[in-house]
């Protein structure tokens, strides 16, 4: 062997060296956290150590789309769905006693509705910190999640995508450690549910409401003293409706909806960045009154729909908008 090849061999440990397997468990777990669990399980063929790593993975990502093909016949799709349910059962059954820090579950319309309740209950017992659930609209309404989910002390991030399912909340709510809440296409069962889930999160810093709420509700109040980032998209317009924000620590706000008849923003003194998008043309008087609630913001970004009333806006807030007005095209 030449001197050059000997030198390379001594530095690399040979071409067959397995450097990844020599890494500490926490680093390998971090690498595996970027993969769906179906790929993580396949690493078990490498060695017994990888079996242990797979069964102790703190991040679990279960997506039924990786098991099904929309172009396949119904019989084959049904078989794939059965395999997915069995796969999830085995992943959770053979997971060791260590905690599950992050759990993502995406289901489709044909998944057994009784299984997801048990799966979520199990990961809550394992002190889950990040929970991301996507469940399709169910025929049986309203939809219920395990009550223990809404009393989980370890939970820091909760994302729910329910595809317009009505969500019934338990009578007792206490998410004492939750810092980020994302609700997408969630329809609440009664008028008080939106406020109750927000007030049950005393340290909530980020709230995202995407096409979520109560269709028949005229008033929406968001009250949170620790809230720093708020996004509300798709809040439906109801004649006589009132939209109220009480968030003295709020620094970033994004609103994309039709402006309600009454908007109240209490103590908006900490606002730094505001982004507003209109869904439809509205008369300038209402728009000007609405924008008056953000006169303390350092940066105000407006959607292209505001161009139609830009002259009226500029005349009412000439100094402010000379510095900060620009449109999102």
252: pLDDT strictly greater than 90: yes
Is 268 within the bounds of a domain? yes
Average pLDDT over residues 99-112: 84
Residue 200 in this model has a pLDDT that exceeds 50: yes
pLDDT greater than 60 at residue 66: yes
- The count of domains in the chain is 1
Q: Is residue 5 pLDDT above 60, yes or no?
A: no
Please check the confidence at residue 329 and state whether its pLDDT lies above 50. Answer: no
Nearest-angstrom CA–CA distance, 135 and 7: 56
Q: Which phi and psi (to 5°) does residue 85 adopt?
A: -60, -45
What pLDDT shows up at residue 323?
39
Lowest mean pLDDT segment, chosen from 40-44, 53-57, 234-238, 299-303:
234-238
Q: Is residue 85 a part of any domain in this protein?
A: no
Residue 278 lies in a domain: yes
Residue 307 maps to a domain: yes
Q: For position 212, what pLDDT does the model report? A: 80
Q: Is residue 90 in a domain?
A: no
Could you list the residue range(s) of the whole structural domain that residue 275 is in?
251-329
As a whole number, the mean pLDDT across the chain is 80
Residue 196 lies in a domain: no
Per-residue pLDDT band for 325 (boundaries 50, 70, 90) equals very low
Residue 134 lies in a domain: no
66 or 125: which leads in pLDDT: 125
Of 316, 314, 315, the C-alpha closest to 326 is 314
Lowest mean pLDDT among 74-83, 122-131, 192-201, 205-214: 74-83
Query: Average pLDDT, stretch 227-253?
Result: 84
What is the 3-class SS of 273-324, one letter each residue?
EEEEEECCCCCHHHHHHHHHHHCCCCEEEEEHHHHHHHHHHHHHCHHHHHHH
96 confidence band (pLDDT: 50, 70, 90):
very high
- Give residue 34's pLDDT: 92
296 contacts 272 by C-beta, under 8 angstroms: no
Q: How does residue 142 score in pLDDT terms, banded at 50, 70 and 90?
A: low
Assess if residue 308 is contained within a domain: yes
Residues 234-246: what's their mean pLDDT? 74
127 pLDDT above the threshold of 60: yes
Given a cut of 70, is residue 27 above it in pLDDT? yes
If you average pLDDT over residues 317-327, what whole number do you get? 46
């Amino acid at each position: 062997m030449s001197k050059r090849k000997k030198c390379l061999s001594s530095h690399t440990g040979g071409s067959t060296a397995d450097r990844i397997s020599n890494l500490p468990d926490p680093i390998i777990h971090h690498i595996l956290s970027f993969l769906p669990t179906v790929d993580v399980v396949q690493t078990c063929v490498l060695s017994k150590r990888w079996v242990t790593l797979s069964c102790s993975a703190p991040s679990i990502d279960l997506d039924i789309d990786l098991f099904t093909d929309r172009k396949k016949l119904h019989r084959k799709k049904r078989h794939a769905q059965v395999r997915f349910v069995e796969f999830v059962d085995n992943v959770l059954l053979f997971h060791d006693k260590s905690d599950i820090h992050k759990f993502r579950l995406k289901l489709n319309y044909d998944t057994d509705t009784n299984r997801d309740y048990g799966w979520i209950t199990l990961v809550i017992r394992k002190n889950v910190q990040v929970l991301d659930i996507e469940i399709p609209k169910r025929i049986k309404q309203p939809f219920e999640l395990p009550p223990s989910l809404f009393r989980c002390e370890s939970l820091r991030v909760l994302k729910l995508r329910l595809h317009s399912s009505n969500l019934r909340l338990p009578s007792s709510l206490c998410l004492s450690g939750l810092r980020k809440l994302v609700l997408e296409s969630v329809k609440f069962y009664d008028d008080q549910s939106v406020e109750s889930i927000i007030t049950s999160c005393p340290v909530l810093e980020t709230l995202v409401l995407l096409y979520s709420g109560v269709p028949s509700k005229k008033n929406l109040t968001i009250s949170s003293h620790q809230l720093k980032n708020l996004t509300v998209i798709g809040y439906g317009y109801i004649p006589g409706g009132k939209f109220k924000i009480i968030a003295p620590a709020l620094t970033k706000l994004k609103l994309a909806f039709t402006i309600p008849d009454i908007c109240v923003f209490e103590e908006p003194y900490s606002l730094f960045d505001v982004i507003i998008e209109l869904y439809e043309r509205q008369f300038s008087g209402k728009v000007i009154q609405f924008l008056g609630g953000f006169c303390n913001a350092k940066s105000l970004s407006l959607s292209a729909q505001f161009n139609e009333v830009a002259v009226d806006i500029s005349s009412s807030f000439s100094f402010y908008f000379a510095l900060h007005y620009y449109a999102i095209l």
